[in-house]
């Protein structure tokens, strides 16, 4: 069976300084053994393409909390249905960005809460609020399926209920996100079907660090929760056989991936 790794980025494969240096030896192993490494993130396509370039990996990826599944042309030796998207197929699962921005504006108007979305901020202001490098903050504004926002006054619960009343979802990552009826789990399931068609049998590994990663963790064979930089683990419920990584960010990521791959290999079912 072929391993396939689905991974969150911020706080998981990337540390709080947005570095993956601690995971580099394991990433080299993954590439040497031709194991698919699939980013599953709240980041935009432009941000993920930059990270993939730095990592030196290709293949499919999932953006904006499961809003879009991007599959490079030729990634699978069979036709993949989707929209043409500049050398890729896009399987669109999320709600359009314009709808999300309008909905957030309506919630702001109806409640009087102080709500600031990425659409309201310059790249410099996003950098100031999030710590993202400026180049990444520029790319973070190229949004398609997800609006990150800051709730500076008011009730998260009330915002969530209003979002649900119009068919949208409040998702919590490092900050709050307004999305459609999509999540990381649905997007992962979409790609699992394609990988099974490619390999016949596959073993799916998933890594995340926050509540918005729970749908991802529920849809893999080896779910891994990476410890936060502050030293604790996010509360996670409903994930059978959850593995807690021994370390924060890419340190914990590397230890967990190494242990799982070694376990699979020792079982005799590992296909490189």
The yes-or-no verdict on residue 269 having pLDDT over 90 is no
Instruction: Say whether 209 is catalytic.
Output: no
**Alpha helices, H only, 142-247:** 156-165, 184-199, 214-217
The yes-or-no verdict on residue 196 having pLDDT over 90 is yes
The yes-or-no verdict on residue 230 having pLDDT over 90 is no
The yes-or-no verdict on residue 268 having pLDDT over 80 is no
The average pLDDT across 160-169 equals 96
The average pLDDT across 2-29 equals 95
1: pLDDT confidence band, cut at 50, 70 and 90? confident
Contact 185, 169 (CB under 8 A): no
Sheet strand arrangement including 169-172: 115-117, 146-151, 176-179, 169-172
Of the residues 8, 10, 183, 213, which is catalytic? 8
Round to whole Å and give the CA distance between 142 and 45: 8
103: pLDDT confidence band, cut at 50, 70 and 90? very high
Q: 80: how many CB neighbours lie within 10 A of its CB?
A: 17
Please tell me the predicted confidence (pLDDT) of residue 82: 96
Domains of the chain: 2-93+183-266 (3.40.50.1000), 97-179 (3.30.980.20)
Round to whole Å and give the CA distance between 53 and 259: 26
Residue with tokens 């009730």: 155
Round to whole Å and give the CA distance between 5 and 57: 12
Q: Please provide the distance, in angstroms rounded to a whole number, between the alpha carbons at the two ends of the chain.
A: 9
Residue with tokens 């593995």: 243
Provide DSSP, 83-120.
EE-SSEEEEE-SPPHHHHHHHHHHHHHHH---EEEGGG
Round to whole Å and give the CA distance between 20 and 158: 37
The average pLDDT across 68-93 equals 96
The yes-or-no verdict on residue 237 having pLDDT over 90 is no
């Amino acid at each position: 069976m072929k391993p396939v790794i689905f991974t969150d980025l911020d706080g998981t494969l990337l540390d709080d300084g947005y570095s993956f240096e601690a995971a580099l030896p394991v990433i080299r192993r993954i590439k040497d053994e031709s194991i698919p490494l699939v980013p599953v993130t709240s980041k935009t396509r432009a941000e993920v393409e930059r990270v993939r370039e730095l990592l030196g990996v290709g293949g499919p990826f999932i953006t904006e909390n499961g809003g879009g599944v991007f599959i490079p042309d030729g990634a699978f030796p069979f036709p993949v249905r989707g929209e043409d998207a500049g050398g890729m197929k896009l399987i669109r699962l999320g709600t359009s960005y314009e709808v999300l921005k309008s909905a957030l504006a309506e919630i702001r108007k109806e409640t009087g809460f102080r709500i600031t979305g990425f659409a309201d901020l310059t790249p410099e202001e996003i950098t100031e609020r999030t710590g993202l490098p400026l180049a990444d903050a520029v790319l973070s504004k190229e949004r398609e399926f997800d609006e990150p926002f800051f709730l500076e006054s008011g009730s998260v619960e009330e915002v969530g209920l209003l979002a649900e009343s119009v068919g949208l979802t409040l998702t919590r990552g490092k900050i709050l996100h307004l999305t459609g009826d999509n999540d990381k789990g649905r997007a992962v399931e979409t790609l699992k079907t394609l990988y099974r068609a490619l390999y016949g049998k596959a073993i799916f590994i998933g890594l995340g660090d926050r509540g918005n990663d729970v749908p991802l963790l529920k849809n893999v064979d080896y779910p891994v929760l990476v410890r936060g930089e502050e030293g604790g683990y996010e509360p996670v419920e409903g994930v059978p056989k959850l593995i807690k990584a021994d370390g924060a960010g890419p340190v914990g990521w590397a230890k967990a991936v190494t242990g799982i791959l070694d376990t699979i290999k020792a079982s005799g079912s590992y296909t490189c």
